[in-house]
Amino acid sequence: MIEIKNIHKTFGENHVLQGISAEFAEGKCNLIIGGSGSGKTTLLKCMVGLHEPEEGSVIYDGRDFTRMNFATRIEIRTEIGMLFQGSALFDSMNVEDNIMFPINMFTNQSHKEKLDRANFCLERVNLAGKNKLFPAELSGGMKKRVGIARAIAMTPKYLFVDEPNSGLDPKTAIIIDELIQELTTEYNTTTVVVTHDMNSVMGIGENIIFLHEGKKWWEGTNKEISSTDNKELNEFVFASKFMQALQKK
Amino acid sequence: MIFHPLGKYILLLKAVFRRPEKWNIYKKEIFHEMVSIGVGSLGIIAIISVFLGAVTTVQTAFQLVSDLIPKSVIGMILRDSSILELSPTISAVVLAGKVGSSVASQIGTMRVTEQIDALEIMGINSPGYLILPKIIAAVTTIPLLVIISIGLSITGGYFAGTASGALTEQDFITGITTDFNTFTFTVCMVKAVIFAFIITSVSAYQGFYTSGGALEVGQSSTKAVVISCIAILFSDYVIAQLLL
């Protein structure tokens, strides 16, 4: 479980996160949703230590990440897998080397063991046999899947996903969402997904946090979201004509 | 104004020299960078060195019109100016353009495409992994390039001098072998190591703190070359003042 308490983050005059507290349960897909500029990605980056919050704490199963130094954070970081919005695959390495990279860095496994693990991860994301391709040769959906394969290479306890469906067609987006949910259940990870895609929200949102103007505005499940009377959340959820038509039905 | 970036640069260097996670992986990266920086720059260094030597010989011969000065002095001037100034400094300025821009744009692109964030999430010391191999590779290969440059510069001078009739082969050989002070070579190597460190560390700093997109990567690359060149020329003066 990940707990965040009273997170504040400011960029210059812009108070992006204003005292956000939440809990992200183990074995569940926890979604952080909100409009552009609401602070979703900033919150995610504060949670993984890419940004340092001015106030508040991030606690991983009782371990206060925000009070740790670089050396002690490594222990938690090796338990984290993350899929970035642009996949962030290393351009100079092929698919196989990308996946084996964290294993190479933090384990003393033999080459065969590492290769077996890379092949297993690739099979898990339905990309078996694509080992030798370079990121430039992959489609957007394939890059995301390789990103997921790299994120699960070290069997993470915590999985962070930033905008998994951006730039993908609806069918591929659903495949990625399903994959994230399957992996969450399979590895019992604490999964945190930042998204503004309503298909993801309705499909995998077991626990949803809605951010608005840097504050936690609403919390609930995908079953509760369509019946809420929260004005700002309704404006966000039912912004598209398609969702408005669904609401009328 | 200068203190903030200088402080950031020093903090970055502190992170660069943190103990590596796994030396084996760093070693592989160092050899890869040695090929990229050393072997990759051999062509351009060879071309500029030959022409620098040739031009220096021809122009020195043009200026030495007095019959009282022996022609062998041309060889001496070429040797000393190649070792002390032309080979280390001009090579460093050219390498700041070639290697520096490549380092800044490579690391800058990794920054804007979140590849550096990915390294940090994995628990890897990203400045160490990305910059240390480049610095080690540069400080080992650039002095070698400078030695090659000295040799080629003197060879270029020999061919230009003898072909143009400015001096005879015997004068040239007498010139380059007379009164050689080995300390000039020490100064040359000190310069080469310091310039190599400046090129890679300044360019890596520019790349590492890039924010934005493709436009900013280009700007970082340009800044890396400009700042490296200024730092090289400034440290060239300081080294000369201190050592000579």
Q: Are B84 and B181 in contact (CB under 8 A)?
A: no
Written as six digits, the tokens of A76 are 């938690």
Q: Which residue of B has its CA nearest to A89?
A: B115
Residues of B near A (Cβ–Cβ under 8 Å) read 21-22, 25, 109-110, 113-115, 117-118, 120-125
User: What pLDDT was estimated at residue A244?
Assistant: 73
* Residue whose entry in the numeric block shows the structure tokens 């090579």: B91
User: What pLDDT was estimated at residue B166?
Assistant: 87
Sequence-distant (6+) residues with CB within 8 A of A239 are none
Q: What is the DSSP string of A199-228?
A: HHHHHH-SEEEEEETTEEEEEE-HHHHTT-
Closest CA to B207 of B193, B221, B227, B197: B221
Per-residue pLDDT of chain B (244 residues; tens, 9 = 90+): 789 999 999 999 999 999 898 898 999 999 999 999 999 999 999 999 999 999 999 999 999 878 888 999 999 999 999 999 999 999 999 999 999 999 999 999 999 999 999 999 999 999 999 999 999 999 999 999 999 999 999 999 999 999 999 889 999 999 999 999 999 999 999 999 999 999 999 999 999 999 999 999 999 999 999 999 999 999 999 999 999 8
Q: Does the beta-carbon distance from B121 to A70 stay under 8 Å?
A: no
Residue A249 has pLDDT above 70, yes or no: no
Compare CB distances from A88 to B22, B114, B123 and report the shortest one's residue.
Answer: B114
Residue A95: which pLDDT band, with cuts at 50, 70 and 90?
Answer: very high
Q: Which amino acid is at A128?
A: A
Q: How many CB atoms lie under 10 A from the CB of residue A207?
A: 19
Beta strands at A2-11 and A158-162: parallel, antiparallel or unpaired: unpaired
* Structure letter (DSSP) for residue A38: S
Q: Is A72 on the interface with B (CB under 8 A)?
A: no
Which of A232-236, A244-248, B139-143, B167-171 has the least mean pLDDT?
A244-248
Sequence-distant (6+) residues with CB within 8 A of A64 are A57, A58
Chain B interface, best mutation among A60, A105, A150, A154, by max B CB count within 10 A: A105
Q: What is the ipTM of this complex?
A: 0.89
Q: How many angstroms separate the CA atoms of A174 and B144, rounded?
A: 56
Kindly report the pTM of this predicted structure.
0.90
DSSP element (H, E) containing B129: helix B126-164
Compare CB distances from B117 to A50, A78, A105 and report the shortest one's residue.
Answer: A50
